[in-house]
């Protein structure tokens, strides 16, 4: 699958290299072409799969410690020259930082756009789709680098993703570049889910997400587009019924539910109380999950809700 044309990258790399030559001449540089760029990208893939402690080891003369045959295809000097001037777009078209229209991802925007288009068009997801965040580890200098202490990868680039939970295929993603403007962005989670599900609206998919994204307003908006949803929810979200948010449940399997149309809010006691919001479950049906007790015995715990379209009044009411 061709993601982007190599000749465009070769032309942009040559343009950028020529621009830099006017500032500081480089006697080692010579123009590249599409074939060499394609090979350079292939080398990057190989180096990502067959890793070495240092980049120099790919060109060591000792075959015992040389992990690949890249050195037989390209010299180290040429590889470093291509890496130094590798470019995919013209940065001069990007407004300066702080001005309207400035794109923090302008260096890679054209490639990212083509990759996301191919990811989205090249695979049709199952009924269930997941929305979540991921971290790409990075410790260098970057204006939108994030620090998330509770994540395994604490520092890096945060990426919002829509993936197929059946196989992990990523259909769409967004790189988070920080807040838009001087003030914190309100409703960020809702905006992310809305953006990432825009291309699957009206196809009766079931969106699964965690409590960072879940809200009554978002699920109602998705439902209006024939997109169902389910996710854990924070009890301080607007629009939730007090009977659910203030429920004091002590016995495993106990629950409190309220329904408004197709929207069902549930407080369910597992090892602790879990609050869930959904538009894809029928509170009139139940299933069970197996939980291990302190005594070591296994116990079937009641769980409400199977996937089924509902019809109810437009106010919170008892589900059963």
Separation CA 267–CA 287 (nearest Å):
15
Confidence bin at 312 (pLDDT 50/70/90): very low
What mean pLDDT is predicted for residues 31-50?
95
Identify the weakest region by mean pLDDT among 62-66, 135-139, 185-189, 282-286. Answer: 282-286
What mean pLDDT is predicted for residues 9-27?
93
Distances (CA, A) of 60 to 44, 76, 140: 17, 10, 27
Structure tokens at 42: 């292939």
Separation CA 319–CA 315 (nearest Å):
12
The residues near 238 (Cβ < 8 Å, ≥ 6 apart) are 215, 216, 217
Distances (CA, A) of 152 to 6, 141, 147, 160, 173: 35, 20, 11, 16, 20
Query: Is residue 215 within 8 Å of residue 236, measured between CB atoms?
Result: no
Query: Is residue 291 within 8 Å of residue 301, measured between CB atoms?
Result: yes
Check residue 4 and report its DSSP letter: S
**Would you state the pLDDT for residue 304?**
65
Distances (CA, A) of 309 to 165, 207, 224, 283, 319: 22, 14, 13, 11, 14
pLDDT digits (tens, 9 = 90+) for 148-188: 898 899 999 999 999 999 999 999 999 999 876 666 667 89
pLDDT digits (tens, 9 = 90+) for 109-138: 888 999 999 999 999 999 999 999 999 999
């Amino acid at each position: 699958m061709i993601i982007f044309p190599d000749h465009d990258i070769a032309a942009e790399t040559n343009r950028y290299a020529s621009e830099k030559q006017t500032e500081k001449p480089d006697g080692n540089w010579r123009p590249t072409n599409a074939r060499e760029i394609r090979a350079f990208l292939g080398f990057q893939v190989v180096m990502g799969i067959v890793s070495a402690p240092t980049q120099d080891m790919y060109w060591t003369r000792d075959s015992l410690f040389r992990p690949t045959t890249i050195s037989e295809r390209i010299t180290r000097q040429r590889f470093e020259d291509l890496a130094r001037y590798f470019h995919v777009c013209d940065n001069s078209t990007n407004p300066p930082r702080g001005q309207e229209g400035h794109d923090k991802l302008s260096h890679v925007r054209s490639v990212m756009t083509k990759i996301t288009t191919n990811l989205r068009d090249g695979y049709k997801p199952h009924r269930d789709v997941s929305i979540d965040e991921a971290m790409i580890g990075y410790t260098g200098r970057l204006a939108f680098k994030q620090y998330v202490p509770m994540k395994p990868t604490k520092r890096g680039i945060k990426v919002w993703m829509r993936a197929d939970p059946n196989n992990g295929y990523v259909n769409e993603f967004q790189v988070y570049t920080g807040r838009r403007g001087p003030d914190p962005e309100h409703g960020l989670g809702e905006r992310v889910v809305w953006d990432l599900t825009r291309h699957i609206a009206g196809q009766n998919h079931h969106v699964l997400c965690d409590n960072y994204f879940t809200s009554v307003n978002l699920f109602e908006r998705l439902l209006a587009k024939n997109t169902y949803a389910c996710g854990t929810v924070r009890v301080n979200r607007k629009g939730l019924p007090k009977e659910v948010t203030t429920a004091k449940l002590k016995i495993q399997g106990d629950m409190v539910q309220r329904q408004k149309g197709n929207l069902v809010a549930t407080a369910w006691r597992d090892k602790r109380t879990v609050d869930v919001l959904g538009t894809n479950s029928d509170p009139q049906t139940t299933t069970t999950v197996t939980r291990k007790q302190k005594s070591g015995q296994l116990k079937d715990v009641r769980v409400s809700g199977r996937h089924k379209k509902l019809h109810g009044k437009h106010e919170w009411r008892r589900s059963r």
